[in-house]
Amino acid sequence: MIGAMHSPSSILPLSVRDLTFVAGGKTIIDRISFDLRHGQRTVILGPNGAGKSVLLRLCHGLLVPSGGSIVWGGGQPHPERRQAMVFQRPVMLRRSALANITYALKLAGVSRAERGMRAHAALAKVGLDRLADSPARVLSGGEQQRLALARAWALAPEVLFLDEPTANLDPGATRMIEEAIAVIHANGTKIVMTTHDLGQARRIADEVIFLHRGRVLEHSPAARFFDQPATPEAAAFIRGDLIW
């Protein structure tokens, strides 16, 4: 069923094999293997320092693996052009909210005529249309993160990475972000998100990758992960115990 939504040149599935990342003599990602398919919202869960953010950056091409392989869609060239990423702390340029989005579209090679239209549409989707002309960096934290989401959305990516997108936000702003993620998912974009927030993982995840000390301890459908975790570490994490 899901396969029907694939375009012939889709960058999915993603297959990661024996992925390793070493920095400063410390192994942060330790021989990880998994596959990600289209359609499911994947949440990478784990305690702080588990390597979640690094894993996301490796998949997105911001970091270069020390070992192993990351293959998109059986070897599609330039997969990063069909991806977008929202970071924990939104980075906005010193220009208007709208101009931040048109800038991203320009880099993506979107024609001038189309940029404004797409940027306005993306702003409207996250409820920021009335702030289109406001300087982006004076918006509140929650508004900036919604703007970051709109910027990613405007690019119409096949895969959207989100790295702890609500870690710095209050519950109201968190809810708006989660609602927007739900709509983006419904429109056919693959969601890959990290969080250390169990409640958020329960609300969003279709499947969970549980990461601990740079290793994948579990990769299972969300319902099974939360009801019957297969490892003591995951069980402890779900109970709310401190694990490290």
Partner 1 sequence: MSDISAAFVTALGLIARLDVNLVEIVALSLQVSLTAVAVAACVGLPLGAAVALGRFPGRRVLIVLLNGFMGLPPVVVGLFVYLLLSRAGPLGALGLLFTPSAMVIAQATLITPIIAALTRQVVEDAWREYEEQLRSLGVTPRRAVFTLLWDTRFSLVTAVLAGFGRASAEVGAVMIVGGNIDGVTRVMTTAIALETSKGDLPLALGLGLILITLVLGVNAAAYVIKEAAQRKFG
Q: Does 84 bind partner 1 (CB under 8 A)?
A: yes
Question: What angle, rounded to 10 degrees, do the helices at 97-107 and 112-125 form?
Answer: 130
Residue 143 CA, distance from chain mean position: 18
Cβ-based nearer residue to partner 1, 137 or 196: 137
Query: Segment near partner 1 (CB under 8 A), from 68-76, 85-93, 177-185, 192-200?
Result: 85-93
Q: Is 81 in the site for partner 1 (CB under 8 A)?
A: yes
| CB proximity list for 116: less than 8 A, separation 6 or greater | 98, 102
Alpha helices in the chain (DSSP H): 52-60, 97-107, 112-125, 141-154, 171-186, 198-204, 222-227, 232-239
Which residue in 90, 74, 87 sits closest to 147, CA to CA?
Answer: 90
State the Rg of the chain over Cα.
18
Contact status: 223 vs partner 1 (CB under 8 A):
no
Distance of closest approach, residue 136 Cβ to partner 1, in angstroms: 8
| Shortest distance (Å) from residue 115 CB to partner 1 | 13
Candidates 2, 5, 138, 235: give the one binding partner 1 (CB under 8 A): 138
What residues from 58 to 77 belong to the interface with partner 1 (CB under 8 A)? 60, 62
Q: Is 31 in the site for partner 1 (CB under 8 A)?
A: no
Least distance to partner 1 from the beta carbon of 195, Å? 18
Q: Are strands 42-45 and 190-195 parallel, antiparallel or unpaired?
A: parallel
List residues near partner 1 by CB under 8 A: 57, 60, 62, 80-81, 84-85, 87, 91, 93-95, 103-104, 107-108, 135-138
